[in-house]
Amino acid sequence: MAGQVGGFDTHEVFNQPAPLADYDLFSADAALSEGVVREGAGWAIDRLRALGSRCSDPAIIELGRLANANPPALRTFDRFGHRRDEVEFHPAWHALLELLFDHGVHSSPWAEPRPGAHVARAARFMMMAQVECGTLCPVTMTYGSVPALRRDAAIAATWLPPIHSRRYDRRFLPVGEKTGAMIGMGLTEKQGGSDVRANTTRAEPIGAGGREYRLVGHKWFLSAPMCDAFLVTAQAPDGMTCFFMPRFTPDGASNAIRLQRLKDKLGNRSNASSEVEFAGAWALRLGEEGRGLPTILEMGTYTRLDCALGTTGIMRQAVSQAVHHTAHRSAFQKRLIDQPLMRSVLADLALEVEAAIALCLRMARAFDTETDQGEIALRRLLTPAAKYWICKRGPTLAAEAMETLGGGGYVEESILPRIYREMPVNSIWEGSGNVMCLDVLRSLARAPESGETLMAELIPARGGNVHLDAAIAALETALTGPATRDEATARRLTERLVLTLQGALLVRHAPASVADAFCATRLGEHRAGAFGALPPGLDLATIIARADPRAET
């Protein structure tokens, strides 16, 4: 197409790629589609392909842009001065939630349990993250709340049917009048987020010996406040307790959850994150008084899994954009993708994503059992470890992927700025980096079998790569030594644990060129600071070809 000024053709637009759209995100992703079958969800492939195609439909991609370009607005009062405490979202937000509900991302493993259900959901979550991340916040909280809600028969009877439903319902109504429901969570207060025990919100029982309470206090972060109910923490007479707090009281009145303001956030802008006050809000106790932390942390295991999945999904989208752009852009008489140094960058980015996908799907399989104690211990250990490392890699990867697009990657018409802004949040919420690494130490101390299950996962890969063999030996020593009790070196141990497992998964399941390159650059002596500083002699062509979003496997 020609540029025109005053009837004159100023220049021809060429050497610019077409937008990346209209491909099947699932089938085009070898690491994802192979991993889904390997980890037990081969039965879900048809639906995953269908969602994979939907996720690159230009109309769906546009919903992601619109939802973020038109952030939500708080409506505190109506025009007569009555409290409303509602948030208004752009229609694109609701359309994306309809799609997420339709594919069961919020609840399918609970509503339709079967082997591999969490793996299939993990694949859906990673694909939807490539479209838009704000909507994933209420979806992950809803998913994570179910095990805790199931422990209370009365709450479960009323709330699980609309949570299991595939019909998203945007209306602000009591749950009995809705086709679908979403659940949020409120822990963080101004004086402390990581340290939930520092909560000052008070809970007073209504009457003696019952389960109903009134809560007075505040939450400094309460995301997706239009959820239908929240799991919140507060100090009851016998200590820190978990409560179930709906937006409406049983008599149908609006509960005393006062939305004070919405946060002005770096990213995740489609989603509302509010500051709230509880002015005697009605809530039901969930679990025993004084046992609030274990209850809420059970939810945290699932939401932390999703932090790793979400970052992996957006890393995958960033790499797809990088490979697509460089395949259709030339500089210095060569396609960028054929320039030797660009190939090093692309291959290195691709290795990061391939390893993250393999780890996420393996981790999701550990959620597919309620009886295998080894797997349960493994998921307890891997979730904070994977959340820490994958979410730490996200921002660096996004910046490098953006750079492969040159200046065009930095402007808002590209999806890369949104991806870049989105990256840090998964590292901060649901427990920030240090807190995750301390949790790894806690898991090893409380469930020593988790270290043994991890080693059992590594041992079949022995003999496949010399760097990996050395890393496994070093990790085995570390897991039985003082490093498991040393807070100051917890990041080092966690990083080593994740990289060794990623190396083992790739040695066992990925092409040799991928596994060898990963082990050489992440476990060997060639560890580098920036992406793309690869040693010579790697099979870059195979690594890049596997990451090509246009390559159907």
435 interacts with ligand FAD by CB under 6 A: yes
295 interacts with ligand FAD by CB under 6 A: no
Among 339, 369, 432, 489, binds ligand FAD (CB under 6 A): 432
Q: Toward ligand FAD, which CB reaches closer, 52 or 424?
A: 424
Q: φ, ψ for residue 76 (rounded to 5)?
A: -75, -45
- 121 neighbors 132 (Cβ within 8 angstroms): no
429 interacts with ligand FAD by CB under 6 A: yes
Cα distance between residue 224 and residue 36, in whole Å: 30
Give one DSSP letter per residue of 48-65, joined into a string: HHHHHHHTT-HHHHHHHH
CB of 145 to ligand FAD, least distance (A): 12
Pairing of strands 183-186, 229-236: parallel
CB of 30 to ligand FAD, least distance (A): 33
Among 246, 433, 451, 524, binds ligand FAD (CB under 6 A): 433
Residue among 492, 494, 493, 507 nearest 459 (CA) = 507
478 interacts with ligand FAD by CB under 6 A: no
| Integer CA distances (angstroms), 281 to 25, 63, 134, 204, 215, in order | 44, 35, 27, 10, 5
202 interacts with ligand FAD by CB under 6 A: no
| Options 30-38, 110-118, 395-403, 428-436: segment touching ligand FAD (CB under 6 A) | 428-436
Q: Toward ligand FAD, which CB reaches closer, 299 or 377?
A: 299
Q: Toward ligand FAD, which CB reaches closer, 4 or 194?
A: 194
Locate 523 and state its tokens.
């476990």
Look at residue 215 and give its three-state secondary structure: strand
CB of 257 to ligand FAD, least distance (A): 13
> Using CA of residue 263, residue 264, residue 266, residue 271, what is the dihedral sign?
positive
CB of 102 to ligand FAD, least distance (A): 24
Neighbours of 53 (CB within 10 A): 16
Q: State the residue for tokens 């990061």.
A: 352
CB of 266 to ligand FAD, least distance (A): 8
Among 37, 279, 297, 428, binds ligand FAD (CB under 6 A): 428
CA angle (384, 390, 394) in 5-degree steps: 140
Q: Toward ligand FAD, which CB reaches closer, 116 or 246?
A: 246
Number of residues that bind ligand FAD (CB under 6 A): 25
Q: Toward ligand FAD, which CB reaches closer, 136 or 187?
A: 187
Residues in 264-283 at the binding interface with ligand FAD, rule: CB under 6 A:
265, 268, 273
**Terminal Cα-to-Cα distance of the chain (whole angstroms):** 34
Residues in 203-242 at the binding interface with ligand FAD, rule: CB under 6 A:
221-223
The rounded Cα 281 to chain-centroid distance in angstroms is 30
CB of 244 to ligand FAD, least distance (A): 15
CB of 461 to ligand FAD, least distance (A): 32
Cα distance between residue 513 and residue 501, in whole Å: 17
Q: Toward ligand FAD, which CB reaches closer, 428 or 533?
A: 428
The rounded Cα 496 to chain-centroid distance in angstroms is 21
CB of 273 to ligand FAD, least distance (A): 4
Residue among 52, 116, 42, 100 nearest 364 (CA) = 116
| Options 41-49, 50-58, 95-103, 430-438: segment touching ligand FAD (CB under 6 A) | 430-438
Residues in 136-195 at the binding interface with ligand FAD, rule: CB under 6 A:
184-188, 192-195
Look at residue 521 and give its three-state secondary structure: helix
Cα distance between residue 76 and residue 267, in whole Å: 23
Locate 81 and state its tokens.
């001065």
Buried b (16+ CB within 10 A) or exposed e, 378-404: bbbbbbbbbbbbbbbbbbebbbbbbbb
Q: Toward ligand FAD, which CB reaches closer, 68 or 500?
A: 68
CB closest to ligand FAD, residue no: 193
Cα distance between residue 33 and residue 122, in whole Å: 12
Q: φ, ψ for residue 432 (rounded to 5)?
A: -75, 175
Q: φ, ψ for residue 56 (rounded to 5)?
A: -115, 15
Neighbours of 223 (CB within 10 A): 25
Half-sphere exposure of 324 (CA within 13 A, CB side): 22
Q: Toward ligand FAD, which CB reaches closer, 211 or 265?
A: 265
CB of 310 to ligand FAD, least distance (A): 13
CB of 490 to ligand FAD, least distance (A): 9
CB of 412 to ligand FAD, least distance (A): 20
480 interacts with ligand FAD by CB under 6 A: no
Look at residue 287 and give its three-state secondary structure: coil
Q: Toward ligand FAD, which CB reaches closer, 108 or 145?
A: 145
Among 76, 434, 477, 553, binds ligand FAD (CB under 6 A): 434
425 interacts with ligand FAD by CB under 6 A: yes
Q: Toward ligand FAD, which CB reaches closer, 274 or 465?
A: 274
Residues in 11-50 at the binding interface with ligand FAD, rule: CB under 6 A:
none
- 88 neighbors 67 (Cβ within 8 angstroms): no
List of residues contacting ligand FAD (CB under 6 A) = 184-188, 192-195, 221-223, 265, 268, 273, 425, 428-435, 438
